[in-house]
Amino acid sequence: MIDAYTESILIFVGINILLAYSFYIPMATNQISGGQGAFMGIGAYVSAALTVNFHVPFALALAASGLVAGAIGAVVGFPALRIRGLYLVIMTLGFAEVVRVFFMTNEYFGGAYGFSGIDELTNLPYVYGVLALVLVLLFRLERSHIGRAFQAIKENDLAGETLGINVTRYKVIAFALGAMAAGLGGALYAHYALFIDSNNFGFHRSIEMVIFAVFGGINALWGPLVGATILTVIPEFLRVIQEWRMVFYGLMMILLMAFRPQGLLTKHMFRREKPQGETEP
């Protein structure tokens, strides 16, 4: 068997992939969410409360936290419809801050002190099981009419409407799915880190999720997977220059946006025909 340290890396790769997708899915309908960290937090806290306070079995708690996060995502998704582009980014950022303060001040969830005493219930089978389910779902989604609707919306909201696509419905679905993915990631995280704190799910975390997805390529279904994997694994090898890791990340983001904003993988990387109407991030 592999040792605990390698196991921890693999677990984090799995969780980070989920998180990267949580940004990717709303992005697939042109919704940039800067606050997915909040949904991760919701998933984490809900699952922790369920297993610690109510002794709910882990699988159930996982499912519940995904659903709760998704539901809240749907609720937030509605007002989000009225807001476009940059305003949406800021609104989601603001929403994330409000959620952060909520968990920080709420004594039931540990307050400023955080929630500790969580059992280590996350393991490789759970992480990759959940991930596989989500990936299969996404894969089928992409091929279904929902996926095509997403694509249409991404190209052009208004055109989508004139074509009879219920833009509202699909955008909210996308937002909810993204929130659900983040919630699942949060629940898995909580039961591995054993301790959660409102600061874990704030601005920094949301940005991290954006980076994973953007680095891998937000136009390609496998982009977030590749991006999250590489960015999770590389720091472990750069332990030698661990101290400069963040500078490296920052520079990478600047250069990437300047020279290859579509990220590592692009939709048509392996096609022979010319790409049609691929949107720039």
Partner 1 sequence: MIFLQQVVNGLMLGCTYALVALGYTLIFGLLRLIHMAHGEVLMIGAYTALVIIGYLHGNLFLALVGTMMVTAVLGITIYLASIRFVEKGGHLSPLVSTIGVAIVLQELFTKMFTGEKIAFPETLAVKNIQLGGVTFSTVQVVIIVIALACMIVLYRVLKGTMIGKCIRAVSENMETSRLLGIPVFRVVVATFGIASTLAGIAGVLVGIAYHSIYPLMGIEIGLKGLAIIIIGGMGNVVGAMVSGLLVGMMEIFSVAYISSSYKDAFTFGLMVLILIWKPEGLFGKRADTRV
Partner 2 sequence: MMRGRTLFNGMVGVALAIAVVLAGPVAGAQAGEIKIGALIPLTGFASGFGQNQKVGLELAVEEINAAGGINGNTLEVITYDTESKGEKAIFGFRRLATQDKVLAVLGPFLSTEAEVCFPLANKYEIISFSASAAKPGLAAKHRPFGFTNSTSDMDTLPPAVDYWQKTHNIKKVCIVTDIKDALNKSTGKIVMPMLFEKRGIEIIGTSDFVTGEMDFSAHVSKFKGLNPDGIAVSCTVADAAGFVKEARKQGLTQPFIGGVAIQTPKFLELAGKDADGTVTAASFWVESLDAQSQAFVKAFRKLYEGRAPNPFAANMHENVFIIKKLIEDMGGLSGDLAADRKKIQQGLAGLKSFKGVTGTFSMLETGTVDKSGYVLIAREGEWERPE
The interface partner of residue 166, options being partner 1, partner 2, none and the CB cut-off 5 to 8 Å by kind, is none
Q: Work out whether 6 is an interface residue with partner 2 (CB under 8 A).
A: yes
Distances in Å between the Cα of 19 and the Cα atoms of 14, 178, 220, 244 are: 9, 9, 16, 24
Binding mask 158-197 for partner 2 (x = CB under 8 A): -----------------------------------xxx-x
Q: Which residues pair with 116 in a beta bridge?
A: 195
Q: Per-residue x/- mask for partner 1, residues 176 to 215, rule CB under 8 A?
A: ---------------------------x---x--xx--x-
CA–CA separation, 239 and 249 (whole Å): 14
145-155 and 167-193 helices, crossing angle to 10°: 100
Collapsing DSSP states into helix, strand and coil, what is residue 18?
helix
Interface segment toward partner 2; rule CB under 8 A; list 60-68, 74-82, 235-243, 247-255: 235-243
Q: For residue 196, what are the β-bridge partners? A: 115
Nearer to partner 1, 39 or 58 (CB): 39
Helix/strand/coil for 115: strand
One of 52, 90, 194, 233 touching partner 1 (CB under 8 A): 90
Least distance between partner 2 and beta carbon 164 (Å) = 26
234's CB contacts (< 8 A; 6+ apart) are: none
CB-nearer residue toward partner 2: 25 or 89: 25
**DSSP β-bridge partners for residue 195:** 116
Which range of residues in 10-18, 160-168, 225-233, 252-260 is near partner 1 by CB under 8 A? 252-260
8 binds partner 2 (CB under 8 A): yes
Least distance in angstroms from the C-beta of 253 to partner 1: 3
**Cα–Cα nearest to 236, from 5, 1, 4:** 5
Binding region for partner 1 (CB under 8 A) out of 53-61, 118-126, 154-162, 256-264? 256-264
Q: Amino acid identity, residue 243?
A: E
Q: Does the footprint of partner 1 cover residue 238 (CB under 8 A)? A: no
Q: What tokens were used for 245?
A: 């890791």
Residue 26 is encoded by which pair of tokens? 């709303």
The reply to whether 18 sits near partner 2 by the rule CB under 8 A is no
> Counting Cβ atoms within 10 Å, is residue 136 exposed (0-12), middle (13-18) or buried (19+)?
exposed
> What is the size of the binding site for partner 2 (CB under 8 A)?
38
Using alpha carbons only, what angle is made at residue 182 by residues 223 and 193, rounded to the nearest 5 degrees?
105
Which residues of the chain form contacts with partner 2 (CB under 8 A)? Answer: 2-6, 8-10, 13, 104, 111-114, 116-117, 120, 139, 193-195, 197, 200, 220-222, 225-226, 229-230, 233, 236-237, 242, 265, 269-271
